[in-house]
Amino acid sequence: MLTQLTIRNFKGFEDVDIELGDRVVFIGPNNSGKTSALQALALWDLGLKRWIEKRGVGAVPRKRPGVTVSRRDLIAVPVPDANQLWRDSHVRATARKGTQNIRIDIVVKGVTGGKAWECGLEFDYANEESFYCRPLRLTDEAQPERMPVPREADVRVAFLPPMSGLTATELRLDAGAINVRVGEGRTAEVLRNLCHQVLERSGGEEQWERVATRIRDLFGVALEHPKYSVERGEINLAYRNRRGIRLDISASGRGLQQTLLLLAHMTVNPGCVLLLDEPDAHLEILRQRQIYQILTDVAREHGNQMIAASHSEVVLNEAADRDIVVAFVGRPHRIDDRGSQVLKSLKEIGFDHYYQAEEVGWVLYLEGSTDLAILRAFADVLDHPAKSHLERPFVHYVLNQPTKAQSHFHGLREAKADLVGIAVYDRSDRAPPDDSRLRQYMWSQREIENYIARRDVLLAWTRWKAADQNAGPLFERDWVSQMEASIDSLEEALAKLRKPSPWGADIKVTDDFLDPLFVDFFERLKLPNLMRKTDYHDLARFARAEDLDPEIGRVLDAIVDVASTARPRRD
């Protein structure tokens, strides 16, 4: 997993640091640098691959350490002249000692196999067709010492631009030709090929069925198997619409094609770092939220890290307090909480809210998207009917402020008088004001995370995380041992301070237990903290149905009761 990106002198960037994680969303206006940041990672990946091909990994020779890269190989960053990769196209600078090259520096940090690593590369302009790539210099002497290239940095990175339409026919292509076309933005020429690749993989029938099921759930159409026509050398792909009429995939909507491209690409590139440029393109508001959830689920299934650039306010709100969101407003910076100035700039009630109210007919109020992710996981664990209602809800996050939920709800009812809603709050000293229209529920425990803060859940997550890092059985046992030690240490400290038990209803479990627990755990492993507050919802899927508090079932029942009375638009 990549954990940090540093960029110097690349395109519009002078010197920026960008935090990364399992799921990252770049948000900002047009021309703010979101796509450039993805392209910087693609450039680093290309330079690293060229270096390893020529020089291998490990220590770097001081003499003639460079490798040549052609601009035509950089398919994710198409430019007519290599100098356009440099900030303001400046590749030389005048100094006292004469003219000096301006270098592009790209440094990436990550964790692979339970080991933290750092890999920096520098790029020197040669001519309009090529440039040189070298490991980052650590000293300024004539033959400087350079940063070693760690073996762990050799990760796979795949850049996926937005869907650009679909050609009427598609010749069968090999994997290299597909990757070139995708990188050049020619996704219209490879969708059928990617789908055929899914089917040709080991276990392809099952994997294709998963893709087809998700497309059916999203768009109500039934995909057929992609087929190769030997006589014409073409890949064919058809589907049946809601009325059972058989159509070629080129007759489908752009949103369906975009979603199918993403799902097929992720399936045939397991374990990759996926760079997704506007994955929500061509999708209407409700499906933007649903596709973001699906993409995070598919990325988890296939072991992908997902770094996406988006303009969508829906994606912003969904990712804001469960994943890493980097705002490209001024200097790129992480949005750490929903009280940031960027989030405050969103209107309390906009057209998209009224649209969702009309489309769905009911609204769910929660503190933040972490709560929704946990409720979804609870519904999955319990196999509860609420699963279908939580797949594509109209949800509004209110920071545990009942008056804010009520104001928003009654404002929407001015436009849709039959709107129904339910609000689920963390426990507070004061009950929410009575409201005959809006159903309200307050957890009996301090916050929703209290219901997943269990020793068995934490140990199950630890075993999964160790396996996910490909650390091996010995590392897995060590990770579990260290987690048990961290739990015992925090439990003892809380008892000495006469604070509530970490397993009780009264502790603010995120701040007083989980935060220090994961800091201590990863310090023991000598790794950067890979489990932040925005990731705690991942713990919920490790709970067992028989261990969940019955209160959770009652809340899910209430959600079903409200959602079942909704009157969505039928046109």
Report the topology of domain 351-445+551-564. Rossmann fold (3.40.50)
Residue 345 has pLDDT above 50, yes or no: no
Asked whether this chain's domains 2-155 and 351-445+551-564 adopt the same fold, the reply is yes
Predicted confidence at residue 36, as pLDDT, reads: 93
Q: Element (H or E) spanning 301, and its range?
A: helix 285-302
Query: Domain boundaries in the chain?
Result: 2-155, 159-311, 351-445+551-564, 450-548
Predicted confidence at residue 347, as pLDDT, reads: 39
CA–CA separation, 348 and 398 (whole Å):
10
CA–CA separation, 177 and 174 (whole Å):
6
Residue whose token pair is 């790794």: 527
Phi, psi of 470 (to 5 degrees): 55, 40
Predicted confidence at residue 314, as pLDDT, reads: 78
The highest-level CATH class for domain 2-155 is alpha beta
Q: What is the mean pLDDT of residues 407-420?
A: 86
| Domain formed by 159-311, architecture | 3-Layer(aba) Sandwich (3.40)
> In the structure, what pLDDT confidence band is assigned to residue 349 with cuts at 50, 70 and 90?
low
> In the structure, what pLDDT confidence band is assigned to residue 109 with cuts at 50, 70 and 90?
very high
Q: Can you list the positions of beta strands (E) in 209-304?
A: 222-223, 227-229, 234-236, 238-240, 246-248, 273-277
Residue 351 has pLDDT above 70, yes or no: no
Predicted confidence at residue 175, as pLDDT, reads: 86
Residue 183 has pLDDT above 80, yes or no: no
Residues 112-170 have pLDDT tens digits of 988 999 999 999 999 999 999 999 998 877 778 889 999 999 998 888 877 777 888 99
Exposed, middle or buried by CB within 10 Å (0-12, 13-18, 19+), for 293?
middle
Residue 301 has pLDDT above 80, yes or no: yes
Nearest to 218 by CA among 292, 296, 277: 292
Write down the mean pLDDT value for the chain: 88
Q: What is the mean pLDDT of residues 254-272?
A: 90
Q: What is the mean pLDDT of residues 503-526?
A: 95
CA–CA separation, 287 and 323 (whole Å):
19
3-state DSSP assignment of residue 125:
strand
Stated pTM of the model: 0.74
Residue 474 has pLDDT above 70, yes or no: yes
Q: What is the mean pLDDT of residues 229-235?
A: 93
Helix ranges, 34-157 (H): 34-55
| Range from 292-301, 312-321, 359-368, 496-505 carrying the lowest mean pLDDT | 312-321
